[in-house]
Amino acid sequence: MSSVTATNPFVDRVGQIRWADLAPFIALAVIIFIGTMINSNFMSSANLVNVITRSAFIAIIAVGATFVIVSGGLDLSVGSMMAFVTGIMIMAMNGLAPAYGNWAILMGAGVALVVGGLCGLFNGLIITVGRIEPFIVTLGTMGIFRAFITFMTDGGSLPIDRGLREAYRPVYFGNFLGIPYPVLITLVVVLVAAFLLYRTKYGRRLTAIGSNTDVARFSGVHVGKVRTMAYVIQGLCVAIAAICYVPRLGAATPTTGQLWELQVITAVVIGGTLLRGGKGRVWGTVAGALILEVIANVMVLSDMISEYLVAAVQGAIIIIAMLAHRFTRSR
Amino acid sequence: MNAYKNAARMLACAAALMVPLGAVHAQDRDITIAVSIPAATHGWTGGVVYHAEQAKAEVEAAFPNVEVVLSTASSASAQVSALEDLSATRDLDALVILPFTSEELTGPVEQVKANGTFITVVDRGLADPEIQDLYVAGDNIAVGANTARWLSEQLGGEGDIVVLRGIPTVIDDERIQGFTEVIEQTNINIMDIQYANWNQDQAFTLMQDYLAKYPHIDAVWANDDDMLLGVIEAVDQAGREDIRFALGGNGMRQVVEMVMEGNERTPISTPYPPSMIKSAIYMTAAQFSAQAPMRGSFLLDAPLITPQNADQFYYPDSPF
């Protein structure tokens, strides 16, 4: 529990730097260094902006996943849920566009947040009230959401109204003082999440449940309620990611968000959050999401690896990063 | 007492279910054509499902004695199970199948054939071509080769290009093979080739990386129109003017629209139409109802879709 009350997450009370908590940032720095060595275009501002902006989706969803995983849970449905929310949002916007013009974008975003929150609530209630393993519940909803988006698109694609497209585009491609909007949105999400997890009673309860459910219950924590809230937070994060995602390609397809759940979980774990719960690292999660995206980018920029082996090298780098993490921790 | 009630209820239900089914069979539809296709998991297979449903309605309206049974499967093993279920529950006169994979489906289709069923294979051939009575397919090598020939003409036989591959499968290999064989005879340099899994998002990401890596690109070939849409978005956002041509393939609705409008960067596409399932169902129905002989192979050409002929390849209601 000391990590929860420490004022600076990277420095403990004695003032000693926690190397283990810095591990994901060190790993990120190493990969960026390698990228710079491999191709001089890597450090070009256009490339960096691309990579950071692109990692926003996984980062935002992974921040929500940090809450779920801290509580000792797991959500496999995030990728499908994201596609489903995207589909509903586009349908709402297209439906509202004739009557409300560009206001339809704002209203559609509101619809997305409501739908995302409800999807999370649905997962959470089945897990806590129905007392079923989160792995099984979210595996089920993963299939349900994926089938819904396939049904809504007839297996093809569901594009946003052309009139709205132009007005909505800047949410992904635009910037404020040179910082792209998706990056700003990620920052806000992370700041709110870090506050919620480290500085509020809710965050402490969530962490307590994750480290020992029975102890938390005996100390009077309403376990079901706190856990369900974690899934609602996850749903809201998925909706925020969807809001940033739609302006990029302007369509939802049955392959939208496919396998994102695995990237999200990987990002959370690389970031230093324990998969069994009880310890969360929100900033580490963001570093994890960036690491995944930078590795993929470096793979394309390098000429050394056969296109057939790219996935193998990515997998190896992730395992090496985790091993390095383990050794710094055990010291 | 309860047991009797339940038994009676079940009998009543069974009877209620059997009467209409039996009636349909006995009355008019005495020829059953089963159609086994992949589920709508991405654009192209979405098109297959759409055109198969259209063909079912049209064929059943045209031939009152033919019943078409559609079955979609989400994986090769699910398709094998579906075949077993279809042949166990019905007497199949014909089977139209778009196999998930060649090797895994060969044995099961052979077993269906053993019951005397007419076999139509679509798109992906089985490992043993002896099994099929009719083979309907597009020409993936021509999709790559025709695009490459057109591109090489436009570029004057030289330039620097990048290529996006799909999912590692025979289809992808054949397209890339057709394309590279033609390009190798020119002075065009393929600077990079990577997988983007026929996925718009991944194509967008990969194209952004290509743009960062290469300051000058003359043309990009995406091997599929779904990916092309992601590529175009990345190029537009980067504001790059050096890319003279961005080409795909498959004849997706949105891209055919671009060709019709005379888009300068995407003036052509190459058809690999999901509607080939329709050709197969029609031909199979004709074999039985019109006694028009249909045994053999039917290979669709992959002519270029140009502004002049684009309307022939345009299906405004298709999801693909």
The CATH number of residue B244's host domain is: 3.40.50.2300
- Name which of A8-12, B139-143, B168-172, B311-315 the model is least confident about: A8-12
Residues 13-42 of chain A with CB under 8 A from chain B are 39, 41-42
pTM comes to 0.80
B47 and A CB contact within 8 Å: yes
In a domain, B317, yes or no: no
Burial of B160 (0-12, 13-18, 19+ CB in 10 A): middle
Burial of B26 (0-12, 13-18, 19+ CB in 10 A): exposed
**Does residue B251 sit in the same domain as residue B220?**
yes
- Name the CA radius of gyration of chain A, rounded: 20
Given a contact cutoff of 8 angstroms between Cβ atoms, the answer to whether B274 and B251 are in contact is no
**Does residue B131 sit in the same domain as residue B144?**
no
A249/B233 Cβ within 8 A: yes
- Here the ipTM equals 0.74
At A176, list the tokens: 């404020």
- Total tally of structural domains belonging to chain B: 2
Q: Quick: pLDDT tens for A239-268.
A: 999 999 999 888 888 888 888 999 999 999
**Does residue B55 sit in the same domain as residue B130?**
yes
Q: Which of A253, A256, A295, A302 to mutate to test the interface with B (most CBs of B within 10 A)?
A: A253
B210 and A CB contact within 8 Å: yes
Residue B120, pLDDT above cutoff 70: yes
**Does residue B285 sit in the same domain as residue B208?**
no
In a domain, B301, yes or no: no
Query: Residue B212: which of A41, A254, A310 has the nearest Cβ?
Result: A41
**Does residue B133 sit in the same domain as residue B147?**
no
**Does residue B144 sit in the same domain as residue B134?**
no
In a domain, B280, yes or no: yes
B318/A156 Cβ within 8 A: yes
In a domain, B6, yes or no: no
The structure tokens 């309403």 sit at: A222
**Does residue B64 sit in the same domain as residue B117?**
yes
In a domain, B62, yes or no: yes
* pLDDT for the residue numbered A4: 44
Q: DSSP string covering A289-311, please? A: HHHHHHHHHHHHH-SSS-TTTHH
Closest approach of chain B CAs to the CA of A119, in angstroms? 22
* CATH class, range A2-330: mainly alpha
Query: Residue B213: which of A154, A296, A301 has the nearest Cβ?
Result: A301
**Does residue B183 sit in the same domain as residue B89?**
no
Burial of A277 (0-12, 13-18, 19+ CB in 10 A): buried
Residue B49 structural domain = 26-138+274-289
Bridging pattern class, strands B134-137 and B296-299: parallel
Domain boundaries, chain A: 2-330
Cα of first residue to Cα of last residue in chain A, in angstroms, is 20
**Does residue B31 sit in the same domain as residue B118?**
yes
B176 and A CB contact within 8 Å: no
In a domain, B316, yes or no: no
A218 and B CB contact within 8 Å: no
**Does residue B119 sit in the same domain as residue B220?**
no
B201 and A CB contact within 8 Å: yes
Q: Quick: pLDDT tens for B225-260.
A: 889 999 999 999 888 889 999 999 888 888 999 999
Q: Quick: pLDDT tens for B271-311.
A: 888 889 999 999 999 988 877 888 888 988 888 898 888 88
A47/B205 Cβ within 8 A: no
Closest approach of chain B CAs to the CA of A299, in angstroms? 10
A273 and B CB contact within 8 Å: no
Residues 222-241 of chain A with CB under 8 A from chain B are none
Query: Residue B195: which of A154, A301, A307 has the nearest Cβ?
Result: A307
Q: Quick: pLDDT tens for A13-43.
A: 555 566 667 888 888 898 899 888 888 888 8
**Does residue B175 sit in the same domain as residue B113?**
no
